[in-house]
């Protein structure tokens, strides 16, 4: 049965003009990850590692620059405090995928508390180094802060994931 407007169709169905560009393959509604990256923890650890590498390099560079003028402990504290602000901002955005500005000030304040834990770990390791070897070189100090920084990093990730950014644990 034909109507004056064209072929018979369903009353609720509209005919749309043909698209001039052919449609490509359909994308899935959600991204499906394979292997280890299907777990949110693995994705967060990978992103956290990338942020950590950047921040560690910046911290070591700042330490090396500040050390001759300030001494080892103040240089370590200054480098950690300066890079902690960058670290918290990058981890907030990249590692835990938090983009809203609603709790940003509180996140940064809590990030400073977490960095105090890292400061205790790295500063404590420097104190032990200077107690054992009072004539330690800057290279020895850098190695000590780097190795103790790995421990501090594990503690930092745990505190960020389970305390500060717990609202985004599954991203």
Output b/e per residue, 43-56; b: 16+ Cβ within 10 A: bbbebbeebbeebb
Report residue 52 CA to chain centroid gap: 7
State the pLDDT at residue 127.
93
Instruction: Tell me if 44 sits within 8 A of 95, measured CB to CB.
Output: yes
> Is the model's pLDDT at 100 over the cut of 90?
no
Highest averaged pLDDT of the listed ranges 16-30, 77-91, 118-132:
118-132
> Is the model's pLDDT at 9 over the cut of 60?
no
Report residue 90 CA to chain centroid gap: 5
For residue range 116-167, list pLDDT tens digits in order.
Answer: 888 899 889 999 999 999 999 988 988 998 899 889 888 988 888 888 777 6
What is the 8-class DSSP label of residue 26? P
Instruction: Tell me if 87 sits within 8 A of 51, measured CB to CB.
Output: yes
State the pLDDT at residue 168.
67
């Amino acid at each position: 049965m034909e109507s004056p407007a064209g072929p018979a169709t369903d009353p609720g169905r509209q005919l749309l003009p043909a698209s001039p560009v052919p449609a490509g393959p359909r994308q899935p509604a959600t991204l499906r990850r394979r292997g280890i990256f299907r777990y949110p923890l693995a994705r967060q650890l990978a992103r956290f590692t990338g942020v950590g590498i950047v921040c560690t390099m910046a911290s070591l560079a700042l330490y090396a620059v500040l050390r001759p003028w300030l001494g080892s402990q103040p240089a370590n504290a200054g480098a950690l405090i300066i890079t902690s602000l960058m670290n918290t901002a990058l981890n907030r955005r990249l590692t835990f995928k938090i983009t809203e500005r609603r709790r940003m000030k509180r996140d940064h304040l809590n990030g400073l508390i977490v960095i105090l834990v890292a400061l205790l770990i790295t500063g404590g390791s420097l104190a032990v180094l200077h107690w054992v070897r009072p004539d330690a070189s800057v290279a020895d100090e850098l190695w000590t802060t780097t190795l103790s920084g790995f421990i501090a990093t594990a503690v930092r990730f745990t505190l960020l994931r389970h305390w500060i950014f717990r609202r985004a644990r599954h991203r």
